[in-house]
Amino acid sequence: IYLLVGMKDFAGKKVLVTAGGTREAIDPVRFISNRSTGKMGYAIAEAARDRGAEVTLISGPTTLEAPRDVRKIEVESADEMFEAVKQEYLQADVVIKAAAVADYKPVVVTRQKIKKGPDSISLELTRNPDILEFLGQNKGDRILVGFAAETENLMENAQKKLKKKNLDLIVANDLTLEGAGFGVDTNVVKLLFADGRVIPLEKMPKRQVADIILDTILTLK
């Protein structure tokens, strides 16, 4: 029985995971988004559930099924994700921000569908709140894990985000590698810790990456 149910080493822990990309509305029928599919975040939510955690998953729109026994909160925009996170983070022992949050949103969302007209038009964008930075500023006793999606200067950029957002751990994702990043079932990441340690992982299924992230969290504090 013990082998079948596995290790419940997250029993009694509350884990908040964000996953998927956000959508930033332009008009009633259009939005700006990114290539995130939610697979990494959902894999983390499932792994944490399997290990006995009480899991809340705040998810942007994805085609993935809600994992059973996970409380799922669906959001669309970065602003909505921020609101949901503010509602939930105080109850969490661990927050893992796997979501690909849009950095910018349109300044104006038109009420009517934009009609085509001139040969060229432009869209003015404004910054979204940085949810993870907010969490870092209001961290308390929580363990805070972020992701870094990079196409260049992986270590340097990830290091900066780790520091700026006051994280315990950042999962650095080199989007130029085959079998890494958005849309695929595998990932190739490096784990960077607040104390300067770096653990590079080989290419492996996202579920396995998820379990290693959880193993690592248990070694912190």
Query: Is 132 one of the binding residues for ligand CTP (CB under 6 A)?
Result: yes
Query: In the chain, which ranges are E strands?
Result: 14-19, 24-27, 30-32, 54-59, 71-74, 94-97, 104-106, 125-127, 143-150, 169-174, 186-187, 189-193, 198-200, 204-205
- Of the candidate spans 46-54, 61-69, 123-131, 184-192, the one that interacts with ligand CTP by CB under 6 A turns out to be 123-131
The C-alpha R_g of the chain, in whole angstroms, comes to 18
Nearest partner of 104 among 46, 25, 41, judged by Cα? 25
List CB contacts of 49: < 8 A, sequence separation 6 or more: 55, 67, 68, 69, 70
> In the complex with ligand CTP, which residue's Cβ is closer, 132 or 188?
132
- Of the candidate spans 36-44, 49-57, 96-104, 191-199, the one that interacts with ligand CTP by CB under 6 A turns out to be 96-104
Cα separations (Å) of 177 from 164, 186, 199, 213? 25, 11, 17, 20
Query: How open is the CA angle 214-217-220, to the nearest 5 degrees?
Result: 160
Query: Is 149 one of the binding residues for ligand CTP (CB under 6 A)?
Result: yes
According to DSSP, residue 81 is labeled H
- Of the candidate spans 3-11, 93-101, 111-119, 207-215, the one that interacts with ligand CTP by CB under 6 A turns out to be 93-101
Q: Would you call 34 a catalytic residue per the annotation?
A: yes
Write each residue from 101 to 140 as x if it is in contact with Ca ion (CB under 5 A), else as -, in one continuous string: --x-------------------------------------
Please state, in angstroms and rounded to a whole number, the distance separating the CA atoms of residues 110 and 108: 6
Nearest distance from C-beta of residue 99 to ligand CTP, angstroms: 5
20 within 8 A of 35, measured Cβ to Cβ:
no
Binding residue for ligand CTP (CB under 6 A) from 19, 58, 101, 217?
Answer: 101
Query: Is 84 one of the binding residues for ligand CTP (CB under 6 A)?
Result: no
Query: Is 31 one of the binding residues for ligand CTP (CB under 6 A)?
Result: no
Which residues does the annotation mark as catalytic? 34
Site of interaction with Ca ion (CB under 5 A) = 103
Site of interaction with ligand CTP (CB under 6 A) = 78, 97, 99, 101, 103, 128, 130-132, 146-149, 161
- Residues annotated in the binding site for CTP, as ranges? 103, 113, 129-132, 147, 161, 165
- Residues annotated in the binding site, as ranges? 103, 113, 129-132, 147, 161, 165
